[in-house]
Amino acid sequence: MSKDQSILPLSAESRGEAPGRGRLHGRRILIVGGGQRSCDPETDPVGNGRAMSMLFAREGAHVAVADAKLESAEDTVELIEKDGGNAFAIQGDVGKEEDIQAMIARAVSEMGGLDGVVYNVGIAGQTGIDVAVDEWDRIIDVNLRGAMLVGREALNVMEPGGSIVLISSIAGLTSGSQIVAYDTSKAALGGLMRYLARLGARKNVRANVVAPGLVDTPLGRLAIRGRPSRGAGENTPFGRQATGWEIAYAALFFMSDESVYVTSQILAVDSGLTGM
């Protein structure tokens, strides 16, 4: 880090310690990808999906936490309940259309309706253009097709005034990850979001994208093992990576009425990496 660069301090929001303010009171929200991978259970920071689940519940929402690994979703629910929130777990594989349909149906049944959906699922793969076709298909299916299916099913049942948030990446805005299928799928989420926003406008449902930059999550720490410069901090204008909570607060803005006149937009949460 250069001598003139300071590290952005961690606020109470950055640490996940700020109290709820009732911004989602009475909302019924499904978070697809609300569990998290584990790197070291003793030291793991919170992941984006878990942070969003916990924060939305703290802000008054009833939260359906969906994940391919039921145990991970249940761990998130346990943390929410310890914090005084209301949540339940759903197991579902976004690679299977029938699982997504069942996921949406159960969320609506359990909560009596659906006011918001977050798609927070993404996988990566090998770098370079010489990617195997099977790997390309797998990444596109999970990162993009799954998002399309969730958005399609959600629009059919969401209440007026609802919100869809797709979690993308700045890899979809600028070259950097060197993983062609990942970058392509994340860029394509912008096109999907605009389509969902156009359809959603007919029933007053908004759709937006949050594009995280470098984030200190369990998955991020796994990435650092292969690319140590990712976690150095000196490559970001604020001198450190984001926390999962900081991504969650960006999603909270799109999920709350504070963004009631905002749709079809991409918000990069990256300390300015894509803008400077």
- The CATH number corresponding to 24-269 among 3.40.190.80, 3.20.20.70, 3.40.50.720, 3.30.565.10 equals 3.40.50.720
- Listed by start position, the domains of the chain span 24-269
Low-confidence ranges of the chain (pLDDT < 50): 1-3
Residue type, 263: T
Distance CA(58)–CA(16), nearest Å, equals 10
Q: Quick one: pLDDT at residue 276?
A: 85
In degrees rounded to 5, what are phi and psi of residue 71? -60, -40
- Hey, CA dihedral for 150, 156, 157, 161, is it positive or negative? positive
Residues ≥6 apart with Cβ < 8 Å to 264: 193, 194, 197, 198, 207, 208
Model pLDDT, residue 217:
85
Instruction: State residue 220's pLDDT score.
Output: 72
**Burial class of residue 215 in the structure, from the number of CB atoms within 10 Å of its CB (0-12 exposed, 13-18 middle, 19+ buried):** buried
Catalytic site includes residue 119: no
Query: How many residues are recorded in the chain?
Result: 276
| Nearest CA-CA partner of 35 in 46, 44, 26 | 46
Catalytic residue of the set 119, 182, 249, 261: 182
Cα(22)–Cα(212) distance, rounded to whole angstroms?
25
Tens digit of pLDDT for each residue in 220-276?
777 666 556 555 555 789 999 999 999 999 999 999 999 999 999 999 999 999 998
Are 222 and 196 in contact by the 8 Å Cβ rule? The answer is no
What per-residue confidence (pLDDT) applies to 3?
A: 47
Task: Determine the Cα–Cα distance for residues 205 and 161; give it in Å rounded to an integer.
Answer: 5
Q: Which residues pair with 270 in a beta bridge?
A: none
Bridge partners of residue 10, in order along the sequence:
none
Strand blocks (E) in 68-177: 86-91, 116-119, 163-167
